[in-house]
Structure 1
Amino acid sequence: MRHPGIRFTALAVAGIAGLSLAMVGTAAASGGPDRQAIIRALDLMTTTGAAGAQVRIAADGQEFTARSGVARLGSPRGVPVNGRFRIASVTKTFTATVLLQLAGEGRLALDDTVSRYLPGLLPDGDRITVRMLLQHSSGLYNYSDDLTGDPAELQRHWDPQDLVAIATAHPLNFPPGTASKYSNTDYIVVGLLVEHLTGRSWATAVRNRIIRPLGLHDTSLPGDRTTIPGPHAHGYTPRDGALVDVTAMNPSVGWAAGEIISTTADLDTFTAALFGGRLLTPAQLTNMTTLSPAGSAYGLGLSTNVLSCGVRVWGHTGDVPGYDTLLATTRDGRIRLQLSLTTAARQTPLQGYRQLVDEVFCG
């Protein structure tokens, strides 16, 4: 998905040269990813597209972090390795996990229609199932494709119903269940389902079911709060020939599809818990990692890719003005990668990104 407005999927980063580098933590002296190769990949990203980068890698019980670039343009201060950032569409994995928990409790069935729980919300709600929402085969128009990226859009409050209304003003992209196309609208509807089933806010459900049980103390659901709490790097976007700091924004425009703020440490804890069976039963996790029959590489809140070395990785990307995120893991959770990039100029440091992923999972 590429357009000038709000973006919550597919790694698309941009930037200027990074200026500083540091690495902390420990890793095995032999075996596992080569730390110098990781550093070279991060440096390549911050010289070809990102203002800053931070990464956390866990492999066979060993863990280390690395960083490159600057936390703020015009300052020599490095990116904090414990920095908070907007995880954008990685939020969807949290949202899907909550809904699958509810399904496991018998509160709904994945093949029930949306209209059974939210009558009147969608014109085609009697044809769209919960599973179709989770795997992006609903056909619902992606509301964020209609957003322009205007500063006013990034600062205003958006109700979830506002976002659904943008989408339902358009016809379906295809008959439900016949194809697959990524749509942020799907997960706005999932968030509304969570609220209907729990009788509480989506944010409360995520806090009670994931954040508090796992002790994710640096993960937050900001609602209308425009600032990022705690240490963080700034993100930028080009506008009218200049780089504009877009760190402060109202994340209600992403809500259950892209609102959460977190850290690489908290994301790694979440990833390990999810794939280690602490959040879902084996059957639910199997559901989550079963790909859409409509022919995509998307399961239920997770996507997958087979690397050139033959290793299959699971996870999600996140893409919002100023920030790009990658959560990736092997199915057994033995090797995990959490990456945050802060963006600047409109370029894409794909070479460094590919080098990093290949070194972590194939090296």
Structure 2
Amino acid sequence: MKWACLALAGILALTACQSGEDRAIAELTQAEQAGEIAGAHSIRVADAEPTRLLRSSITPESRFRIASLTKVLTQIAILRLADQGELSLDQSLASLRPNLRAEWPETVTIRHLLNFSSGLPHELGNEGEGVRFDARGSALAFMDAQTESGPRFPPGSRTAYSNLGYLHLGAVIEAVTGQTYAEAIHTLVSQPVGLTETGFGRDDLGEDGHLHGWEGDPPVQVSGHPISQRYSSGGLHASLRDMERLSAALQEEDFLSPAAQDEFFTQFGRPDARDPAYMMATGHVPGFTHAWLVSRDPEFTIISLNNAIAGNPRVIPDTVTRAGSAFLPSLAERRDRYRPTASDGWTAIRGFDDMPDHDLREGLTATLNAILSGSEQQARDALMRLHGLDPTTADEADLEDFSGFARGHIRITAAFGPFHPIAWRLDGERLQIYLESEDNQRGIHFAAQPSDHNPAVASTVSLGTYGFDP
């Protein structure tokens, strides 16, 4: 394998190995030796055997929580149902989920949900408890009861990342197939492709090849939280070997029709979709960060599954982009990022004091100041108070969880800062504040959703980043 060429010649002194594949391998190898990626990685060109880089004790069959890469398998399941004539991408949500009794599902189509233009909120509005399942393992009845969280802008008018939209897609899959989401993924995706290490909702880790996730230096295990409640937006696990098999199947007409492949690579008509020659997806949950690049012209795949993140997790998609640029140079050039505009409801500010009164303003700005200070304890305590918890009386589990959140936020702001606030807006009830780096190349927005019980306390706090990924 070409890996041997790298080992013999040395990464920085290659003379004989100069193909695009070799340059891509060198990028991953350098990142692995620098501690920027750690897990299971592979590069595959056309129909050749994949070249793999595996961390000690990890095999191609080891199972990772794949986080938001789950959404790609949800997309594939929907496309397979469309190919089978079971649904249309331009069909309304209401027509497929008649028990979702509200007016807004009439205005939201499957395409809107797939391409993040539905206008639905980022998360469920049930105090962060996640999706609930009946005794059979179905979430359809629970999702049919989620009638209150409708679109916050006209569907199709713009895009905004929404985990909730993909939860509704999981329920669509259940409604159309009569199966649970886990069963449908097996029937529509795993079984046809021959995936043997892919499944749903494994909450206990450490056995049967299911890996724990680690963060920090020295590493701390942070993967004790349940994953099943993330459902069709983030609840699957998979191995490197299965991801390789699925990547190859995406361009096989007996798995996805040419029309379905076109929908997939153009991200279902998403207005800000990247070059339709390729698809790149990322995923992150505590302890796991991944990047997955599939190109159809030229044909290659790069997969990076990571369960030990010592530094900034945003380095991982950057590494995959650099590796992919060895085959597709235009990848390195696609770094335009979102900027807040008045047309999207943002109001410019020079500091937090420019913001008007809002029930969550004091708590959210105190949290951001603590994060920007770089103090993990201050950030942890501010995050806890924002969520209505007293850090002086909290139990050990809550302190550990919020310390992990604080570390993650601080890593991002410290690595690419300093950051300063430049805009705020209300997205429905959610208070959002946008921070920009001093070099104007990167942006972060924090969003706080008020609790139903106390509007000065956040039920959820989310973070979005721009300019970090390709």
TM over 0.5: yes
**CA–CA distance in structure 2, aligned partners of residues 48 and 145 of structure 1:** 37
2:41 to 40, 45, 55: 55
SS of the counterpart of 1:275?
A: coil
Q: Structure 2: which amino acid aligns with 1:355? A: R
Unaligned runs of 5+ in 2: 7-15, 134-138, 332-470
Higher RCO, 1 vs 2 (CA within 8 Å, ≥6 residues apart): 1
Q: Is residue 102 of structure 1 aligned with residue 68 of structure 2?
A: no
SS of the counterpart of 1:330?
A: strand
Q: What corresponds to 2:323 in structure 1?
A: 356
Q: Is residue 322 of structure 1 aligned with residue 287 of structure 2?
A: yes
1:231 shift after superposition: 3.6
Q: Is the 8 A contact 1:49 1:343 kept in 2?
A: no
1:281 shift after superposition: 1.3
Q: Is the 8 A contact 1:276 1:333 kept in 2?
A: no
1:285 to 247, 261, 265: 261
**CA–CA distance in structure 2, aligned partners of residues 322 and 85 of structure 1:** 10
2:123 to 143, 146, 157: 143
Percent of residue pairs bearing the same amino acid type: 26
**CA–CA distance in structure 2, aligned partners of residues 145 and 228 of structure 1:** 31
Q: What corresponds to 2:232 in structure 1?
A: 256
**CA–CA distance in structure 1, aligned partners of residues 218 and 181 of structure 2:** 37
**CA–CA distance in structure 1, aligned partners of residues 206 and 228 of structure 2:** 14
**CA–CA distance in structure 2, aligned partners of residues 186 and 67 of structure 1:** 35
Residues 292 and 100 of structure 1: CA distance in aligned 2, closer, same or farther (over 3 Å): closer
Unaligned runs of 5+ in 1: 1-21, 71-76, 298-303, 307-311
Q: Is residue 246 of structure 1 aligned with residue 222 of structure 2?
A: yes
Q: Is the 8 A contact 2:290 2:305 kept in 1?
A: yes
**CA–CA distance in structure 1, aligned partners of residues 35 and 146 of structure 2:** 35
Q: What corresponds to 2:278 in structure 1?
A: 313
Worse-superposed segment, 161-170 or 118-127: 161-170
Residues 278 and 325 of structure 1: CA distance in aligned 2, closer, same or farther (over 3 Å): farther
2:252 to 270, 276, 281: 276
Q: What corresponds to 1:8 in structure 2?
A: none
**CA–CA distance in structure 2, aligned partners of residues 196 and 254 of structure 1:** 18
Residues 88 and 278 of structure 1: CA distance in aligned 2, closer, same or farther (over 3 Å): farther
Q: Structure 2: which amino acid aligns with 1:235? A: G
**CA–CA distance in structure 2, aligned partners of residues 143 and 79 of structure 1:** 33
Q: Is residue 83 of structure 1 aligned with residue 62 of structure 2?
A: yes
**Structure exhibiting the larger radius of gyration computed from Cα positions:** 2
SS of the counterpart of 2:70?
A: helix
Q: Normalising by structure 2, what TM-score?
A: 0.57
1:315 shift after superposition: 3.5
**CA–CA distance in structure 2, aligned partners of residues 85 and 147 of structure 1:** 27
1:273 shift after superposition: 0.8
Q: What corresponds to 1:219 in structure 2?
A: 198
Instruction: Give the RMSD, CA atoms, in angstroms.
Output: 3.6
Q: What corresponds to 2:132 in structure 1?
A: 158
**CA–CA distance in structure 1, aligned partners of residues 310 and 122 of structure 2:** 25
SS of the counterpart of 1:33?
A: helix
1:82 shift after superposition: 3.9
Q: Structure 1: which amino acid aligns with 2:251? A: F
SS of the counterpart of 1:268?
A: helix
